[in-house]
């Protein structure tokens, strides 16, 4: 699990934030060999995306299921077993100790890796306080990152701005997966804390999750290839 051993072309994860399996299949067809790793979240997942994930995995694509699980340990464990059986590579869970422990134990012996979401990036200190927490965002992110590492979590999802600080906390044995990526010149949309692919890699990100700059591009394949070129250059590969 040494991040340095990740194939450069596997570092781009394209978010299939699309409303239907038909739309997703058309995008996958367009992207062809340019993209090997896809993220499926709530929108597509609840619209037929789970059978699609299984089919894509059997066709050699890597799948990140962004399901952000959180429930009692037994329920999480059974859900993780089902996700592993789909052939997914990454699954997100919320970074609560019970949830992370159950997920890590349930993925043992499979190729599924568990990513922890520390604090949702839409939360600020006042949102945490309203939810009953006393810690501020940065302290809770750090505490949960340490717990994630101690519990054997495989990776952490973070904004690229947090990547360098997280890397110092968790060392290089945990994957850092960062959304909020915008190639120079692309529209920011609703993302506020953004970085270019090259800067995110330099900050310590292992995998970059990119949605709209690829799937809404006039030429999605060219957009993906441009990101690959930027990643390779940043890696000195």
Q: What single-letter DSSP state applies at residue 219? A: S
Task: Candidates 57-65, 132-140, 195-203, 206-214: pick the segment binding ligand C5P (CB under 6 A).
Answer: 206-214
Residue 169 and residue 139 in contact, taking contact as beta carbons nearer than 8 Å? no
Number of separate helices (H) and strands (E) present in the chain: 11, 8
Does the protein bind ligand C5P through residue 41 (CB under 6 A)?
A: yes
- Beta strand spans in 118-220 (E): 155-157, 175-178, 207-210
d(CA 128, CA 232) in angstroms, rounded, equals: 38
d(CA 19, CA 43) in angstroms, rounded, equals: 6
Does the protein bind ligand C5P through residue 91 (CB under 6 A)?
A: no
C-alpha of 171 from chain center: 18
Nearest to 194 by CA among 162, 153, 169: 162
Q: How many CB atoms lie within 10 A of CB 165?
A: 16
Does the protein bind ligand C5P through residue 199 (CB under 6 A)?
A: no
d(CA 177, CA 163) in angstroms, rounded, equals: 9
Q: Which residues are marked as active site?
A: 68
Does the protein bind ligand C5P through residue 220 (CB under 6 A)?
A: no
Q: What single-letter DSSP state applies at residue 213? A: H
Task: Candidates 51-59, 105-113, 160-168, 204-212: pick the segment binding ligand C5P (CB under 6 A).
Answer: 204-212
> Applying CB under 6 A, which of residues 12, 17, 90, 201 lies at the interface with ligand C5P?
17
Residue 167 and residue 141 in contact, taking contact as beta carbons nearer than 8 Å? no
| Binding characters for ligand C5P, 110-149, by CB under 6 A (x = yes) | -----------x----------------------------
Does the protein bind ligand C5P through residue 211 (CB under 6 A)?
A: yes
Interface residues for ligand C5P in 153-182 (CB under 6 A)? 157, 179-180
> Applying CB under 6 A, which of residues 93, 195, 210, 226 lies at the interface with ligand C5P?
210
Min separation Cβ 74 and ligand C5P, Å: 27
> Applying CB under 6 A, which of residues 76, 83, 116, 209 lies at the interface with ligand C5P?
209
> Applying CB under 6 A, which of residues 191, 199, 202, 235 lies at the interface with ligand C5P?
191
Residues forming contacts to ligand C5P in the complex (CB under 6 A) are 15, 17, 41, 121, 157, 179-180, 189, 191, 209-213
């Amino acid at each position: 699990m040494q991040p340095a051993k990740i194939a450069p072309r596997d570092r781009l994860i394209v978010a299939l934030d699309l409303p239907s399996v038909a739309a997703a299949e058309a995008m996958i067809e367009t992207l062809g060999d340019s993209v090997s790793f896809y993220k499926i979240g709530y929108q597509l997942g609840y619209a037929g995306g789970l059978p699609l994930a299984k089919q894509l995995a059997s066709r050699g694509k890597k799948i990140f299921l962004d399901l952000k699980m959180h429930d009692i340990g037994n329920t999480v464990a059974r859900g993780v077993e089902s996700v592993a059986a789909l052939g997914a590579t990454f699954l997100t869970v919320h970074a609560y100790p019970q949830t992370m422990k159950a997920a890590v134990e349930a993925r043992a012996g499979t190729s599924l890796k568990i990513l922890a979401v520390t604090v949702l990036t839409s939360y600020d200190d006042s949102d945490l306080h309203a939810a009953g927490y006393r810690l501020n965002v940065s302290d809770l992110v750090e505490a949960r990152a340490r717990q994630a590492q101690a519990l054997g979590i495989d990776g952490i999802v973070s904004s690229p701005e947090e990547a360098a600080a997280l890397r110092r906390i968790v060392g290089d044995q945990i994957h850092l997966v960062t959304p909020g990526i915008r190639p120079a010149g692309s529209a920011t949309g609703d993302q506020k804390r953004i970085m270019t692919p090259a800067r995110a890699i330099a900050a310590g990100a292992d995998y970059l999750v990119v949605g709209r700059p690829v799937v809404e591009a006039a030429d999605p394949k060219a957009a993906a290839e441009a990101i690959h070129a930027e990643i390779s250059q940043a890696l000195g590969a």
